[in-house]
Amino acid sequence: MVAPFYQDHFFFEHGSFNNDMLKIRGKDKEGKWFAAPNNQFKFLDERERGNWLSYLQLCLRLSRAVRRLHAAGLAHSDLSYKNVLLSPTTGQVCIIDVDGLVVPERFPPEVVGTPDFIAPEVVASSHLEKTDPNRALPSITTDRHALAVMIYTLLLLRHPLRGRKVHAEDPGEDERLTMGREALFIEHPADASNRLSPAEAKPTELPWKDPEALPYTITGPYLKELFDRAFMEGLQAPRKRPSADEWEAALIKTVDLIQPCQNNDCAQGWYVFANTTAPQCPFCATPYTGELPILNLYSQRGDSFRPDNHRLMVYSNQSLFAWHVDRTITPNERLAVDQRSRVGYFVQHQGRWFLVNERMPALRNAQTGEDLPIGSQIELKEGLQLITGKDPGSRLFHVQMVNG
Amino acid sequence: MQRRLPIYLLIDSSGSMRGEPIQSVNVGLSAMLTALRQDPYALETVHLSIITFDHKITDLVPLQPLETAQVEDIELPRSGATHMGEALNHVCDCVERDVMTSTADQKGDFRPMLFVMTDGSPSDLMEFESAVKRIKGMKFSEIIACAAGPKAKTEHLQKFASQTVSLETMDSSSFATYFQWVSASIAATASGQQAGGAPEDITLPPPPAEVQVVL
């Protein structure tokens, strides 16, 4: 017999606030605890919550796990915050209840899924017999819907389809239409009829349940594009939904856009730095002050360097990794051990920004041709261009300085 | 506003429950509340009301979120009648007053669930018969009646319940299992109710072995 065994960090160490008034200490960290603002901010002990960077990390690991599953041709078929254990404090994820695994042609789907995560076509056809050709059943494409809902919910603590629009008087029928045939993204730019109304939210649910104050665009350009595909184009067109692989890649790039909030008391601690003239933390509204270097990543295609649509927002003590300096390297489970430690780091010293070269033997200044050996410090200035090496995948960094 | 899942518990507090039965109910209720609070789905949607009935009706816990609900021990009168009909009418009044129905621009609550527990039979038969008619017109998603002990009559309960279960003995362990089952049912409905799925997807857990389902 094989008994499931999870690591210690998947069980509540502190539990709920007020000396664990809910008595959940020692219980497993079901995803739902972290996916609703009331659960997270009203009940959980502060030490269990993690910050916004940890949620990006959770989403990244989740996408990676689902990508592996799908790469093997398997569908989980019941992906939901009920079936993942999350450890925000360590950024670890564990997918459980894999008893619904669907292997095409071999093991047909048995479960429909967990409410909130069932794809619209499955909800809309659930009244049909299983043998009916029009009945949609769980598959890799319905997993993709569930994954998109989970990422949106974990980052924004609200459901992407659960807005104010009433579809039917009977609550059961209304639910079926809200999640099925009439499903409508609450932040659809052209159709505002399903917007959440913040006036109905409880104080602990704000700003999360106010999409005007905290729009999905705070997740940055890469995730926004995927949310648009998942909740607009792909809602009723399953094949247009982003794959787990695309989510993973977008999340990796989004982690590079993140900045620590300058307010030490900010509950979220980190945010995606927006390309605006007056950047500020969307969670606590603290404006960014000071000078911020941005590295734009280019790589060689033929004779010229082309933009990779990838930027790195610098903060003090931030690390530079192998996947930044070489576009052929991707940070995932196949990363070699020697590629996991940093190759350089950034530091602000007396108001000036420096890159310290630790493990880039062929770093050089692209304009002057000057070599920048290991151990040297390079001051970051507007327009500076650095070439990271001599390999075909080596990158060119173009430095921009932003003033907040 | 978040759609609420209203749960009404109607508990017999007539004199015949004296002793181990009512002690077990008190213990069972607080264990149920603890279990429900450990469920993040229930915590988000469930609103609970507990009403006791003997010769008078008492709102032990008026409808409120799980987080604020406090259960005090049920006190019993020395003797007296079991006004189940009046109690059912009272629940209907509460539902009409407290449960929000959908309007064109406001989502209403989920359909409420009702659990009724008794160890005897109604002594206000006239009112009981009219209450049965009234309760059928109310949109409860489930009405689960529990006949506790040998003297409880299931035939009255079957007139209004969608499911009737019976406890053979009135000792603490059978009440404990019953309340565990009730909280599992509420939790299952709470996570199911946020549903897009068809209603048949929402199934209550089967009653535990000690509880007999009356068909």
Tens-digit pLDDT profile for residues A297-355: 999 888 889 999 899 999 988 999 999 999 999 998 888 888 888 999 999 988 899 99
SS3 B193: helix
Cβ <8 Å between A200 and B1: yes
What residues of chain A, 88 to 147, have a C-beta less than 8 Å from chain B? 112-116, 118, 120, 123, 126-127
CATH number at residue A370: 2.60.200.20
Res A110: pLDDT: 67
Q: Note whether residue A273 is domain-resident.
A: no
Res B72: pLDDT: 87
Tell me: pLDDT of A100 over 80: no
Write out the two tokens for A52: 């916004």
Q: Which residues pair with A304 in a beta bridge?
A: A301
Tell me: pLDDT of B85 over 50: yes
Residue A21, domain extent: 8-256
Q: Please give the residue that has the higher pLDDT: either A198 or A250.
A: A250
Q: Which pLDDT tens digit goes with each residue over B22-64?
A: 988 998 899 889 888 988 888 888 999 999 999 999 999 999 9
Q: How confident is the model at residue A128 (pLDDT cuts 50, 70, 90)?
A: confident
Which whole number is the average pLDDT over A103-127? Answer: 80
By C-alpha distance, the chain A residue nearest B100 is: A171
Instruction: Examine the domain organization and report whether A246 and A309 are in the same domain.
Output: no
Q: Note whether residue A282 is domain-resident.
A: no
Which whole number is the average pLDDT over B125-141? Answer: 93
Instruction: Examine the domain organization and report whether A20 and A167 are in the same domain.
Output: yes
Residue B34, domain extent: 5-214
Res A369: pLDDT: 92
Res B198: pLDDT: 40
Among B43, B102, B105, beta carbon nearest to A174: B102
Taking alpha carbons only, the member of B73, B35, B1, B111 closest to residue A24 is B35
Q: What is the mean pLDDT of chain A?
A: 90
DSSP secondary structure letters along B22-84: HHHHHHHHHHHHHHHHT-HHHHHHEEEEEEEESSSEEEEEEEEETTT--PPPPP--SS----H
CB A314 within 8 A of CB A353: yes
- How far apart CA A286 and CA A356 sit, in angstroms, is 29
Which whole number is the average pLDDT over B121-145? Answer: 92
Please state the domain count of chain B. Answer: 1
Q: How confident is the model at residue B139 (pLDDT cuts 50, 70, 90)?
A: confident
> How much is the CA Rg of chain B, to the nearest whole Å?
16
- How far apart CA B173 and CA B24 sit, in angstroms, is 8
Q: State the pTM of this model.
A: 0.88
How far does chain A reach from its first CA to its final CA, in angstroms? 60
Q: Which residues pair with A294 in a beta bridge?
A: A313, A400
On chain A, the residues whose CB falls within 8 A of the CB of B34 are 23
Instruction: Examine the domain organization and report whether A48 and A131 are in the same domain.
Output: yes
Q: Please give the residue that has the higher pLDDT: either A190 or A104.
A: A190
Residue to mutate among B100, B139, B193, B194, with most A CBs inside 10 A, is: B194
A263 touching B, CB under 8 A? no
A188 touching B, CB under 8 A? no
- What DSSP designation does B106 have? B
- CA–CA–CA angle B126, B132, B137 (5° rounding): 140
Tell me: pLDDT of B199 over 60: no
By C-alpha distance, the chain B residue nearest A24 is: B38
- How far apart CA A168 and CA A143 sit, in angstroms, is 27
Res A37: pLDDT: 87
Q: Last residue of some domain: A235, A256, A277? A: A256
- How far apart CA A49 and CA A271 sit, in angstroms, is 16
Q: How confident is the model at residue A367 (pLDDT cuts 50, 70, 90)?
A: very high
Q: Please give the residue that has the higher pLDDT: either B102 or A372.
A: A372
Cβ <8 Å between B37 and A42: no
Res B197: pLDDT: 38
Taking alpha carbons only, the member of A220, A224, A381, A374 closest to residue A314 is A381
Cβ <8 Å between B111 and A172: yes
Percent pLDDT > 90 in chain B is 41
Taking alpha carbons only, the member of A241, A320, A324 closest to residue A75 is A241
Percent pLDDT > 70 in chain A is 96
Amino acid identity of residue A356, one-letter, is V
State whether the Cα torsion A229-A330-A138-A156 is positive or negative: negative
Res A326: pLDDT: 93
Q: Please give the residue that has the higher pLDDT: either A147 or A304.
A: A147
Q: How confident is the model at residue A186 (pLDDT cuts 50, 70, 90)?
A: very high
- How far apart CA A163 and CA A56 sit, in angstroms, is 24
Top-ranked range on mean pLDDT: pick from A364-368, B179-183, B206-210: A364-368
B140 touching A, CB under 8 A? no
Please state the domain count of chain A. Answer: 2
- The least confident of A1-10, A231-240, B88-97 is A1-10
Amino acid identity of residue B171, one-letter, is D
- The three-state (H, E, C) secondary structure of A288-350, written as one string: CCCEEEEEEEEEEECCEEEEEEEEEECCCCCEECHHHHECCCCCCCCCCHHHCCCCEEEEEEC
Q: How confident is the model at residue A111 (pLDDT cuts 50, 70, 90)?
A: low
Write out the two tokens for B121: 């039979």
* CA of A294 vs chain B CAs: smallest distance (Å): 41
Q: Note whether residue A271 is domain-resident.
A: no
Tell me: pLDDT of A357 over 90: yes
Residue A320 Cα distances to A308, A313, A325, A342, angstroms: 16, 11, 8, 6
- How far apart CA B110 and CA B45 sit, in angstroms, is 9
CATH number at residue B43: 3.40.50.410
Q: Note whether residue A44 is domain-resident.
A: yes
Tell me: pLDDT of B211 over 80: no
Place of tokens 């603002």: A37
Res A115: pLDDT: 80
> How much is the CA Rg of chain A, to the nearest whole Å?
23
* CA of A47 vs chain B CAs: smallest distance (Å): 18
Top-ranked range on mean pLDDT: pick from A122-126, A251-255, B28-32, B197-201: A251-255
Instruction: Examine the domain organization and report whether A25 and A102 are in the same domain.
Output: yes
Q: Which pLDDT tens digit goes with each residue over A279-297?
A: 889 999 999 988 889 999 9
CB A58 within 8 A of CB A31: no
Res B196: pLDDT: 36
Which whole number is the average pLDDT over A368-375? Answer: 94
State whether the Cα torsion A248-A252-A253-A254 is positive or negative: positive
Residue A359 has phi, psi (to 5 degrees) of -140, 35
Cβ-count burial of A34 within 10 angstroms (0-12 exposed, 13-18 middle, 19+ buried)?
buried
Q: Note whether residue A393 is domain-resident.
A: yes
Residue A216 has phi, psi (to 5 degrees) of -65, -15
ipTM score of complex:
0.78
DSSP secondary structure letters along A20-80: HTT--TTSB-BGGGGSSHIIIIIIB-GGGT--HHHHHHHHHHHHHHHHHHHHTT-B-S--S
Q: Which pLDDT tens digit goes with each residue over A247-262?
A: 999 999 999 999 999 9
Cβ <8 Å between A171 and B102: yes
Which whole number is the average pLDDT over A232-253? Answer: 96
Instruction: Examine the domain organization and report whether A156 and A252 are in the same domain.
Output: yes
CB atoms within 10 A of CB A400: 15
SS3 B175: helix
Residue A235 Cα distances to A28, A134, B190, angstroms: 32, 17, 25
Residue A100 has phi, psi (to 5 degrees) of -95, 15
CATH number at residue A117: 1.10.510.10
Instruction: Examine the domain organization and report whether A222 and A321 are in the same domain.
Output: no
Cβ <8 Å between B194 and A116: yes
Length in residues, chain A? 404
